[in-house]
Structure 1
Amino acid sequence: MTESRKIVVVLKGYPRLSETFIAQELLGLERAGFELALVALRRPTDKKRHPVHDEIRAPVHYLPEYLHEEFPRVLRALAICLPKPGFWRALPSLVADFWRDRTRNRLRRFGQAMVLCAEWPENGAWLHAHFIHTPASVARYASMIGGTPWTCSAHAKDIWTSPEWELAGKLASTRWTVTCTQTGFEHLRHLAGGKPHVHLSYHGLDLTRFATFDGTRPPLDGSQPDAPVTIVSVGRAVEKKGFDILLRALSLLPADLHWKFEHIGGGELLTKLQALAAELGIAGNVTWHGALSQTEVLQHYRSADIFALACRITADGDRDGLPNVLVEASSQSLVCVSTNISGVPELLVDGENGFVVPPEDPQALAGAIEKAIRDPALRQRLGNAAEQTVRREFDHQTSIRQLKNLFETEWRTSQ
């Protein structure tokens, strides 16, 4: 880059343990020579941080999460933004959005956008939103008010739970948008009218943090009570992760198999899942670790025999894209059992480098897990193949190079 150009990145919350892929990208962009300023709509709630968060140099600026809690700050922002021609250009968009979705959330995002413009980071030259729902709403309004171009990274829930009219409007106003699965890419490209400014960009992994596992896993087959096979899963206890399906599948395993299940993550449904495990009679086989750091999670990947995640589409359309934890586990030659939802089949092919079954089917999931438990040689073969896939196709440096080129191309053409 010939000159320093600062990117103002709008995030829903920061830092968040469940969004290592975002933190990894932010650090990658800094190392590629970009200066960043982070703007979050919500303060952190996690008690732990990943090491990557401490390596990111960018300052973090928090907008008021609820406008009434910092009303003087919002009023000051309104006074600063009112004289701007962009404010009056943005106002009709707010009215149109509110007319179609009459919720306080619309007004809140406009208020946050005003505060962002009034407290604009010094030398900020570009806006980039992570997630095409609420952070993109703030970025879009702020772009209109302040006249700063904006771009977006869309992921999973934000795509599939947003109305199509809203997605189409945002896509029409971004300079470009990237997303991380083929299914999401095809959906957004369609809503953008086939315009070429929507791009597919897999997050991938920082493979320096997920080095090849040089250890060996014992060839356990579940036949010995004192040597159970360890099944691990990582993810927030929310509906789309399908942990209730996974627990039901585990309860269907034959009585002669010896296994233990470890869950890593927090989440709103944790208490209900613990009660379900007791109801199913498998609570003694289950350990709930809560949220852990990336370093701790890596050790669990390496000590486990199987990784399982029963991804599903919820009633409101929410779903995962390509869960980063599947890529992480695969990088450690840990065989994965999952479902054919969204981007999962873009990583895992049933019988080639993992087990892939239909969603919402505890019996099919149990069958795949049983097969994996009983055949340690198959686990090793599929896990090794999955690792090769990750190291060949999911190195995050590919995504960083793509983003770097997109940003620099836009800046060259705007000069």
Structure 2
Amino acid sequence: MAPHKKIAVVLKGYPRLSETFIAQELLGLEKAGHDLVLVALRRPTDGKRHPVHDEIRAAVHYLPEYLHEEPWRVCRALFQTVAKPGFWPALRQFFRDLLRDRTRNRFRRFGQALVLVAEWPEGADWLHAHFIHTPASVTAYASIIAGIPWTCSAHAKDIWTSPDWELSEKLGRARWTVTCTRNGYDHLQSLTREKSRVHLSYHGLDLDRFPSFEGSHSARGGSDPIDPVRIVSVGRAVAKKGYDVLLKALSSLPADLNWRFEHIGAGELTAELQALAGKLGLADRIRWHGALDQKDVLTHYREADIFALACRVAANGDRDGLPNVLVEASSQRLVCVSTAVAGVPELLDDGQNGLVVPAEDPRALALALERLIRDPELRRRLGAAAEQRVRAEFDHHSSVRQLSGLFESEWSRAP
């Protein structure tokens, strides 16, 4: 076995409540014996942390989020790196990229790369980027300047909002790239000749944090106004989550059905969605919780009857991969209804372990919700099948073993 290298993991932000799957992977790699240091492009904005964040031992280094906020730090990094043999090749690559992407963001990524190399984490001799858009840009420039190889994890938004030319070039420079859905894997494979360097690796779930639910979900059928069916959704209030579609579906449910909806998550569209709920006459049936930690989310899964998520492709191409919340809810025997977008059908088979409807179709979603509300036995059967699949096929230990194997295979060949 090749000796382990210390990995500098470049992240967009850390810690982030919406990226539990990354924190889970980092902890898994540490437990597998990997020495990590985390490099974040921005400081945390969430007011809470998941328990998993407190278990990760790796030190965290923060780069300047905006170069104008720390100009002396950036200038010092420039003076320290300009003499390095890799500086001029990196600068030439930067200008080639700038000709195709004339944005301030491009300057920011090069400046952050300079700071990363100038303030290099002690002992780090490998780079790994989480997300193939901005973190991989910083990582790729730093790799050229420092002469340190890099690898990459690609997910969802970063794939679908990046131009093909940039994805293709990054795939060619990284030693390997993993992605978490068959949908994303097929797209990345189509953009590179080095197909053996693109790998499919589902995130999976830390089942120790989501043990089997020993209780039972309710047999509510929507007929009792005092004890309504409980529908829950967990996700950021952003366009790709389709909460406007879900609200419209809820508003068209038959008047004789009694239900309550709870949303967990923060996001830029929260106020807009709350206003839409009021316009649709739903305000008194909805509770907006904001961001919650993993323990509280688990409690909501267990108390709910249905999990709903109306994933869509946003106008800018952004979309989910395989939303981890669907895996989490399924692990608790909570029946899920979602849409046939990206990686969702890789977990949910319509009518077998959940219900899957077309995206952007409030009517189809309403019919699926009505069916589940009225039929607690169907909820029980589909939820049990969903849990069985998650526990058989989505254990995160498998993905950690795969990543460890990829690192070690690469290191055994590295000079």
Normalised by the shorter chain, which TM-score bucket? over 0.9
AA of the residue aligned to 1:267: G
Tell me the residue number matched to 1:289.
289
**Cα deviation 1:364-399 (Å, max 9, x = unaligned):** 000000000000000000000000110011000000
Residues in 2 aligned to 1:25 and 1:348: alpha-carbon distance in whole angstroms: 23
Residue 114 of structure 2 aligns with which residue?
A: 114
**Which residue is 2:383 aligned to?**
383
**2:196 alignment partner, SS class:** coil
- Give deviations 1:307-342, integer Å, cap 9, x for gaps: 000000011110000000000000000000000000
Residue 262 of structure 1: aligned partner: 262
TM-fit CA distance, 1:91:
1.0
SS at match of 1:196: helix
Q: Is the 8 A contact 2:232 2:300 kept in 1?
A: yes
Letter in 2 for 1:403: L
What is the CA-CA distance between 1:194 and the residue it aligns to?
5.1
Distance in 2 of aligned mates of 1:217 and 1:384? 11
Question: Alpha-carbon deviations, 1:40-70, whole Å to 9, x = none?
Answer: 0000000000000000000000000011111
- Partner in structure 1 of residue 70 of structure 2: 70
* C-alpha distance in structure 2 between counterparts of 1:19 and 1:218, whole Å: 30
* Deviation for aligned residue 1:218: 2.0
Aligned twin of 1:137: 137
Q: Distance in 2 between the 1:188 and 1:345 partners?
A: 19
Residue in 2 aligned with 1:279?
A: 279
Offset of 1:193 from its aligned partner?
Answer: 2.2
**Structure 1 match to 2:394:** 394
SS in 1 for 2:236: coil
Q: Give the counterpart letter for 1:327 in structure 2.
A: V
Query: RMSD of the TM alignment (CA)?
Result: 0.7
TM superposition shift of 1:227: 1.2
Q: Which amino acid in structure 1 is aligned with residue 390 of structure 2?
A: V
Aligned residues: percent identity? 70
Given the alignment of the two structures, is residue 146 of structure 1 paired with residue 141 of structure 2, yes or no?
no
1:333 aligns with 2:333: yes
Which whole-Å CA distance do the structure 2 matches of 1:339 and 1:193 have between them? 32
Q: Is this contact kept in 1: 2:172–2:194, CA < 8 A?
A: no
TM-score (norm 1): 0.99
Q: Secondary structure at the match of 1:46?
A: coil
What is the match of residue 42 of structure 2? 42
SS of aligned partner of 1:199: strand
- The answer for the alignment partner of 1:229 in structure 2 is 229
Q: Deviations over 1:66-109 (max 9, x none)?
A: 11111111111001110011001111110010001111111110
How far, CA to CA, are the matches of 2:306 and 2:257 in structure 1? 14
- TM-score, normalised relative to structure 2: 0.99
Q: CA deviation at 1:4?
A: 4.5
**Secondary structure of 2:126's aligned partner:** strand
Q: Which moved more, 1:215-224 or 1:138-147?
A: 215-224
Long gaps (5+) in structure 2: none
Cα shift at 1:3: 3.6
The 5 Å alignment of 1:15-414 reads 15-193=15-193, 195-414=195-414
1:400 is matched by which residue type in structure 2? V
What is the aligned length?
415
- Following the alignment from structure 2 to structure 1, what is the Cα–Cα distance between the partners of residues 169 and 217? 51
In 1, the alpha carbon distance for the partners of 2:103 and 2:208 equals 44
Please tell me the residue identity of whatever aligns with 2:239. Answer: E
SS of 2:110 mapped into structure 1 = helix
**Whole-Å separation in 2 of the counterparts to 1:29 and 1:248:** 42
8 Å CA contact 2:348, 2:354 repeated in 1: yes
State the alpha-carbon separation in 1 of the partners of residues 4 and 378 from structure 2.
51
